[in-house]
Amino acid sequence: MSAVLEVSDIKKSFGGIKAVDGVSFDVQEGEILGLIGPNGCGKSTLFNCILGQLMPTDGEVKVDGKVVTGLRPSELNRLGVSRTFQLLQVFPKLSVRENLILAGQEHQGNMMSRLLGPSDAGLTATADQMIGFFKLDHLATEAAGGLSYGQQKLLDAAMAFMGGPRLVLLDEPAGGVNLTMLGDLKERLTAINREKRATFVVIEHNMEFVMSLCTRVMVMAEGKLLAMGTPAEVRANPAVIEAYLGH
């Protein structure tokens, strides 16, 4: 196994506030790593630093051994790192299929072929496969804005996989999703992890979801790494219990 993502000593401060204060970790190929911690512990800031949305004050990010710190999100995405956002970010006026094609089109060909080539960038089949995989079949031509919240959340996740990513960072995929849908989502994510050998990092507040989905869990508190281990180890860690229940 080799490390897909290596994060070393990331620091990010806003004014005088250290949001992320020297976090290092590796993610191995095929792994599903959970990232948990109380609100305001710096999880989302860390995500944004890894993904090029924010420029870290200090530290280094490597993907497949290549330094990617400071790359723009679009460049990083084309290197095989994709993400979902905490809030829904589908394109409501485009159909489900169009949303998926959009999510994959920049990974096909070049600017010229995207202008002169076919309108779907040759992705209709891939998109429909993804639609089938996430069980959205009957909705392919519906405008994404007309879907239920849970369905949009599935679409949002599906979009992250259209480019055939090496690494996917999911920011609260379960947020606001009802119980039935939640089971669906977990099952789909596990399946895609196994079938496509995609590596995940998942931020989530829903403990049960994290503990049952992830192979390894890391806990952050006040900008620092507090604990790292299997779900069972983390659950038993006194420092984690302190961080969650102590305050």
Partner 1 sequence: MTVKGKYLRIALGIVVIGALIIVPMNFNRYGLYILSQWAVMTIAAMGLNLTLGYAGQVSLAQGAFVGIGAYAAAIMTTQGMPLIAALSVAVVLCFAIGWILGYPALRVQHHYLAFVTLAFSTLAFLVFRNEDWLTKGIYGISNIPRPNVMGFATNRPLPFYYFCLGSLGIVSLAMWWLIRSPWGRAFIALRENPVRALSLGIDTRRYTLMAFAIGSALGGVAGTLYAPLTQYIDPVPFNLSLSLDLLMMVIVGGSGFFFGPFLGAMIAVLLPEWLRFTQGYYLMLYAVAVMLLLIYSPTGILGILDRYLAARRTKAASALRAVTKSKLETAS
3-state secondary structure of 132: helix
Tell whether residue 78 is a contact of partner 1 (CB under 8 A): yes
Task: Provide, rounded to whole angstroms, the least separation between the CB of residue 160 and partner 1.
Answer: 9
Edge-first strand order for the sheet with 81-83 is: 81-83, 167-171, 199-203, 32-36, 216-221, 224-229
CB-based contacts of 111, cutoff 8 Å, min separation 6: none
The answer to whether 158 contacts partner 1 (rule: CB under 8 A) is no
Among residue numbers 168 through 187, which ones bind partner 1 (CB under 8 A)? none
Which residues lie closer than 8 Å to 61 by C-beta, 6 or more apart?
5, 6, 7, 8, 10, 49, 50, 67, 68, 69
Evaluated on CA atoms 220, 221, 223, 227, the torsion sign reads negative
Distance of alpha carbon 171 from alpha carbon 82, whole angstroms: 11
Residues of this chain, 25-64, that bind partner 1 according to CB under 8 A: 51, 53
| Contacting residue, 117, 150, 175, 231, with partner 1 by CB under 8 A | 117
Q: Does 106 bind partner 1 (CB under 8 A)?
A: yes
Q: Residue 200 or 226: which CB sits closer to partner 1?
A: 200
Is position 95 an interface residue for partner 1 (rule: CB under 8 A)? no
Residues that bind partner 1 (CB under 8 A): 51, 53, 72-75, 77-78, 82-83, 85, 89, 91-94, 98, 101-103, 105-108, 111, 114-117, 119, 121, 138, 142-143, 146, 148, 159, 163
